[in-house]
Chains A and B, each alone.
Chain A
Amino acid sequence: MNILEIQQLNKSYGNNKALSNVNLSIPSGGIFGVLGPNGAGKTTLIRIINQIIDQDSGEVLFKNQPLKRTHIKNIGYLPEERGLYKKMKVWDQLIYFTRLKGLSSEETKNKVEAWLERLEISHWKHKRIDDLSKGMAQKVQFISAVLHEPELLILDEPFSGFDPVNAELIKNEILSLKEKGVTILLSTHRMESVELLCDEIAMFNKSEKILSGKLKSVKNQFRTNTFELKIKNPDTLNVPATWHCMESGEYHSYHILIEEGKVNELLQQALGIGEIVGFKEILPSMEEIFIQQVKMHENG
Chain B
Amino acid sequence: MDKVWLVIKREYLSRVQKKSFLLATLLTPLIFPAIMGIFIWIALDDVDRLYLSIIEVVDENNLFFIESSEQYAFSFSNTSFEEAKRMVRDGERFGAIHIPSLDLSNPSGITFYSSTTPSIGLRTFIENSLKRRIEEQKLFEAGIDPDVLDAYRTKVTLQTVTLDISGEEKISDASVNYIIGFISGILIYIFIFIYGNQIMQGVIEEKSSRIIEILVSSIRPFQLMLGKIIGIGAVGLTQFLIWIVLIGSLSAFVMGYLGLQMPQQQLMELGSPELSGQMYPDNNVYQTFMVLQSINFFQLIMTFIFYFLGGYLLYGALFAAIGAAIDAPSEAQQFMLPITIPLLIAYMGLFIFVLDDPNSNASFWLSIIPLTSPIAMMGRASYGIPFSELLLSIGLLITGFICTTWLAGKIYRIGILIHGTKVNYKTIWKWVKSD
Contacts and interface: CB of A to CB of B under 8 A. Distances in A.
Given A82-B210, A83-B209, A52 B217 contact: yes
B contacts with A: majority SS: helix
A23 interface: no
Interface in B205-230: 205-206, 209-220
A138 B361 CA distance: 61
A85 B211 contact: yes
Interface in A1-59: 14, 47, 50-53
Most A CB within 10 A of own CB, among B2, B6, B211: B211
A175 B205 CA distance: 34
B189 to A, nearest CB: 29
Nearest to B2: A102
A contacts with B: majority SS: loop
Interface in B166-225: 205-206, 209-220
A87 B6 CA distance: 17
Contacts of A72: 217-218
Given A52-B217, A100-B3, A101-B218, A88 B14 contact: yes
Contacts of A47: 417
Given A52-B417, A88-B14, A144 B214 contact: yes
B14 A79 contact: no
A84 interface: yes
B211 A84 contact: yes
Contacts of A96: 6, 10
A81 B218 contact: no
Interface residues of B, number: 22
Contacts of A144: 214
Interface in B96-110: none
B210 A79 contact: yes
A77 interface: yes
Given A96-B6, A96-B10, A86 B217 contact: no
Nearest to A156: B213
B171 to A, nearest CB: 53
A162 interface: no
A42 to B, nearest CB: 14
B204 to A, nearest CB: 12
Given A77-B217, A100-B215, A100-B219, A83 B210 contact: yes
B213 A52 contact: yes
A176 B186 CA distance: 60
A84 B209 contact: yes
A81 B210 contact: yes
10 contacts: A14-B430, A50-B217, A77-B217, A79-B213, A79-B214, A81-B213, A85-B209, A100-B215, A100-B218, A102-B2
Given A52-B417, A99-B6, A100-B218, 12 more contacts: A50-B217, A53-B417, A69-B220, A77-B213, A83-B210, A84-B209, A96-B6, A96-B10, A100-B3, A100-B215, A100-B219, A145-B214
